[in-house]
Amino acid sequence: MRQSGVASAAPTCFERQRETLPRLVSTADSAPPVAPYDDIAEWYADCIRAGSAIHEVVIPCLRRLAGPVAGLRVLDLGCGEGIASRAFAAAGARVVGVDISRRLLDLARAAERRSPQDIRYVLGDAERLSQLSDGSFEGAVSSLALADVCDLRAAVQALARVLRPGGWFVFAINHPCGPVSAGDGRLAHAARDYFEEGFWRTPNPSSVRGRVGAYHRPLSSYLNALLAAGFVLERSLEPPATEAVARLARGYERVPVVLAMRWRRPEV
Ligand SMILES: C[S@@+](CC[C@H](N)C(=O)[O-])C[C@H]1O[C@@H](n2cnc3c(N)ncnc32)[C@H](O)[C@@H]1O
């Protein structure tokens, strides 16, 4: 689906980058299975628990955007094996993690049994959140999961329903305007065309995005989905690559890596 585009004689920044960077494979013919992380759950959890460079950027950024959370009911949308749930619970939040991957949730619950933090993990679809009541959370967080959700608009509508009026939402995603690590030391674009929404995966089978892919969306799709659901933008961060992230691909320190935002559901 082509979203937008301004005709202009001069190439855009994205077009200039596209000339010089290898492209990732956008595979419209290989739509993702419903819960693709089920197939890589143990591997994905092992990667995170061995020390994930990108999470070392994302989790502090989400914590900074959320501010004090002690005593608040916080939803972790697309919680996976629970890295953000544990971080927010450690800061005093009463966390419910929701994910569509049964096997990742098994690993999250096993971690909870080993080190109890009173986190509740729920198998559910972010596009509906049918297990959760209206207005049941003061805040919500999502770590690197919105680009995995097929229907973003449905997910943010469902989120608006389960947040209480005045509730906040902080999320982080791989920056939709920047190239990503192709997993081989190079940067590559996630899409053939920045303006085209679609499912893509890297050709590198040893990377997360090579194994499960993701949905590329222009920045405006994220903004407009949240605005359409009634959210108000409060703050945005574009944290630069840490040394560990910069080591993943040449040039990573000069491009945006993560986009993080704080939104609020208005009181009325
Ligand atoms: C890149 S992982 C991120 C997991 C975790 N938040 C983290 O930071 O490691 C994306 C997660 O989104 C979940 N996901 C994708 N689509 C979903 C949906 N419709 N509803 C709930 N979870 C979903 C996947 O199962 C996966 O756990």
95 lines ligand 1 (CB under 6 A): no
Do residues 96 and 120 touch, judged by C-beta distance below 8 A? yes
- By DSSP bridging, strand 214-216 and strand 137-143 are unpaired
Residue 228 and residue 248: Cα distance in Å, rounded? 36
The pLDDT tens digits for 208-227 are 888 888 899 999 999 999 99
What is the atom index within ligand 1 of the atom nearest the CA of 98? 21
- By DSSP bridging, strand 187-188 and strand 198-200 are unpaired
167 lines ligand 1 (CB under 6 A): no
pLDDT at 32: 52
Q: Which residue's CA is the closest to the ligand 1 atom numbered 8?
A: 143
- By DSSP bridging, strand 94-99 and strand 258-264 are unpaired
207 lines ligand 1 (CB under 6 A): no
SS3 content of the chain, % helix, strand, coil (to 5): 35, 25, 40
What amino acid is encoded at 135 in this protein?
A: G
pLDDT at 113: 98
Residues 6+ apart with CB under 8 A from 225: 152, 153, 156
Kind and range of the H or E run holding 56: helix 53-66
What is the atom index within ligand 1 of the atom nearest the CA of 80? 27
The residue to which tokens 């999470």 are assigned: 55
Q: Output the tens digit of pLDDT for each of the chain's 268 residues.
A: 333 333 344 443 344 444 444 445 444 444 455 789 999 999 999 999 999 999 999 999 999 999 999 999 999 999 999 999 999 999 999 999 999 999 999 999 999 999 999 999 999 999 999 999 999 999 999 999 999 999 999 999 999 999 999 999 999 999 999 888 877 888 887 777 888 888 888 777 778 888 888 899 999 999 999 999 999 999 999 998 999 999 988 999 999 999 999 999 999 7
Cα of 4 from ligand 1 centre, angstroms: 27
pTM: 0.90
pLDDT at 189: 78
126 lines ligand 1 (CB under 6 A): yes
Do residues 10 and 186 touch, judged by C-beta distance below 8 A? no
